[in-house]
Structure 1
């Protein structure tokens, strides 16, 4: 009960509440009429019929729109880091895995950013493929492992909330094991790397204490309207983890699957679009600004998400608050940017806020680009039954249950990744 209480408190503290009146629509008959932008037709009307045209013409213009008007541009090249192993062990996860904790440090303009990766690798695989994902509540929460270090950022939060570090640690260690099927991942021959997302950029409408401030010009206090919000910052962090994997002798960097749930599913999709080194991408319940079609206006809308979380997207995205019909793109074209690499979009039946049907249709409409590359996607616009996955290169499932990551989800992801990679 004590751990459940702390989960509830942490989730409340981690959620920015909007007090404006907002009535979400869940009625399919009230969805406005709209046209689905064709991912294979350019903004000036040119039809794309060949892979080379997609790579040379259509993909760059779609990418540029998302970069400048949705997630925001990174204002400068910024990927130099130092890596320090903080701790390692050879007998983790019931003796099946090696554990490594690595601090990556970034210095720029007199400021320094640190974040720590927790990595588990199977002992019986020489160069392991890997799932990479952020966690919401600290590395120490993903496994019941007393060797996992508590990040400085998380320790500062414990003081802020009036909880002594030791009590905070003992109450929260291992409270999110339910979202990370670590032993099953290891048994399947994969590794897992995870990072507390708040170390890369704290999840609040304040751009002074995350990675953004390292790239400010003199006197700047927040990103410009076409520059990166927190989602793009978290995507940047995913790519810096990949930089480290490329230098690691026991990780197969050509087989890294970037994974994210909810807001971090949005970040995973953008990371997959921006960094083609990721071999595959998994979006779990990513909803508005992630996999779900914006123009449906079901559940969370562009206006609502920008009001509740004004720091997630670029300032330019606010031009589409309650104005989704003006968007020349929709989120299926974000999914298409990942083609032809494997992509898994997953929904939960009771997670209507994230618009499961909008996530499914987005995968369906993105499939035209996968088809161009002779890859199987979602051919039908009829949603599958619950717990009946479509495990193609562009895969989808909707499971029973709520907005969460479950063992069922991981069972599908592991089997799919084994087949695709």
Structure 2
């Protein structure tokens, strides 16, 4: 309680010109400790970084469990001739036991056969099930609930069918990822933790840790997805075909929020790719533009900790903001992608976050974000922080993946 009060009472503010607004907005300074003292060097940043992590655990994402003591990996599929010989497909069930209960979720991995092993990898969570990212008939159909929506009308009574195979392939660009020399690993959000309000905290990994729910800093669903990404990394560290020192974590929309928190809280991820993660992801709340804290906490009450609700209608005066999340990734590379018509994600606010994070990346003597102004449409800028805003709306496109793969190759080959 003392640390939390200290955080709320002592924070230093800097100002920046808000994109799209004719006013100045106050932002908390990442280089000022909660007690008002200034961070002067990398050693002091280590302490400040831990302070920021604790702030997000207590005030927004909630407290996550550590690495499970009872976890095992079951490789139930190993096909060296997948995708017409282009890749080796592995499917792994991650089993976790805690408090006398078990949860499990499947990790689908494609490894390029022509690339020199071990290969770098990209890991991310998908929306519709592993079978949806590619029409490959060898992918196991998820047994978890699957939505039947206008965009993905393939499930029957909440169950995946063969019609669900490949329905989300456009957003995953498996061939391009493999051609670039990367392995791809993915898992399904509903197998990890339910994204439905009526089922919140009743399924998946949440059932293992009931003691983390009856508290203000409870284990939220964004945090659960991020935690599962770290469990995926636990497996990748055991796979001799994967270079675990060169694993990028990727996410789109709400799963981009999870990818950012995974990258911030787990330094094993060498690079972070955030695609239109918006509010609670890469955009600044302080702008007061786009999706806000009230909507996050009312429409999606399971995503964040209960403690985050006290900040509803306080977006522009928060004692923290999402530039701190990118600061926590520093000096590791991060790429933030926006779309022109994705107003809810506030593209200018996502760029503003990248621009604010540049301070910490320069503190670490990297080239940070190489521009001061938001770039032209469909033009990528790549320092240690990468950014683009493309034409179109809320989606993952071939343009996005092209930039992600160029950036990842540039940064992970150093």
**Residue 96 of structure 1 aligns with which residue?**
86
**Residue 61 of structure 1 aligns with which residue?**
51
The answer as to 2:347 corresponding to 1:356 is yes
Contact 2:147 2:155 in 1 (8 A): no
**Residue 19 of structure 1 aligns with which residue?**
none
Contact 1:138 1:154 in 2 (8 A): no
1:72 positional shift: 0.4
The answer as to 2:329 corresponding to 1:338 is yes
Q: 1:238 to 1:165 in 2, by over 3 A?
A: closer
Whole-Å separation in 1 of the counterparts to 2:155 and 2:142: 17
Kindly provide the CA deviation profile for residues 344-398 of structure 1, in whole angstroms up to 9, marking residues without a partner as x: 0110111010000000000100011010111112254421101111111111111
1:227 positional shift: 2.0
Q: 1:187 to 1:69 in 2, by over 3 A?
A: same
**Residue 417 of structure 1 aligns with which residue?**
408
SS at match of 2:38: coil
For structure 1, the residue ranges without an aligned partner over 5 or more in a row are: 1-25
Whole-Å separation in 2 of the counterparts to 1:162 and 1:370: 45
Whole-Å separation in 2 of the counterparts to 1:139 and 1:122: 18
1:92 positional shift: 1.8
Whole-Å separation in 2 of the counterparts to 1:149 and 1:292: 35
The answer as to 2:100 corresponding to 1:140 is no
SS at match of 1:316: helix
Query: Which of 171, 187, 205 pairs up with 1:211?
Result: 205
**Residue 10 of structure 1 aligns with which residue?**
none
**Residue 289 of structure 1 aligns with which residue?**
280
**Residue 9 of structure 1 aligns with which residue?**
none
1:60 positional shift: 1.3
Contact 1:75 1:227 in 2 (8 A): no
Whole-Å separation in 1 of the counterparts to 2:319 and 2:157: 50
**Residue 311 of structure 2 aligns with which residue?**
320
Q: 1:79 to 1:271 in 2, by over 3 A?
A: farther
**Residue 298 of structure 1 aligns with which residue?**
289
Alignment RMSD = 2.2
Contact 1:32 1:296 in 2 (8 A): no
1:135 positional shift: 0.5
1:93 positional shift: 2.5
Query: Which of 216, 236, 246 pairs up with 1:245?
Result: 236
**Residue 174 of structure 1 aligns with which residue?**
166
1:80 positional shift: 3.3
The answer as to 2:178 corresponding to 1:190 is no
**Residue 217 of structure 2 aligns with which residue?**
226
1:156 positional shift: 10
Whole-Å separation in 1 of the counterparts to 2:324 and 2:274: 14
Whole-Å separation in 2 of the counterparts to 1:342 and 1:162: 38
For structure 2, the residue ranges without an aligned partner over 5 or more in a row are: 1-17
Q: TM-score scaled to structure 2, two decimals?
A: 0.89
Contact 1:76 1:215 in 2 (8 A): no
Alignment of 1:122-137 (within 5 A): 122-124=112-114, 125-137=116-128
Q: 1:208 to 1:402 in 2, by over 3 A?
A: same
Q: How many residues align?
A: 388
Alignment of 1:382-393 (within 5 A): 382-393=373-384
1:76 positional shift: 5.5
Q: TM-score scaled to structure 1, two decimals?
A: 0.88
Contact 2:248 2:273 in 1 (8 A): yes
Kindly provide the CA deviation profile for residues 192-235 of structure 1, in whole angstroms up to 9, marking residues without a partner as x: 00101110101023212121221124xx8x44211220000000
Whole-Å separation in 2 of the counterparts to 1:156 and 1:187: 31
Contact 2:19 2:352 in 1 (8 A): no
Whole-Å separation in 2 of the counterparts to 1:342 and 1:296: 25
Whole-Å separation in 1 of the counterparts to 2:304 and 2:371: 31
Contact 2:255 2:277 in 1 (8 A): yes
Q: 1:67 to 1:100 in 2, by over 3 A?
A: same
Whole-Å separation in 2 of the counterparts to 1:153 and 1:371: 44
SS at match of 1:60: helix
Contact 1:345 1:395 in 2 (8 A): yes
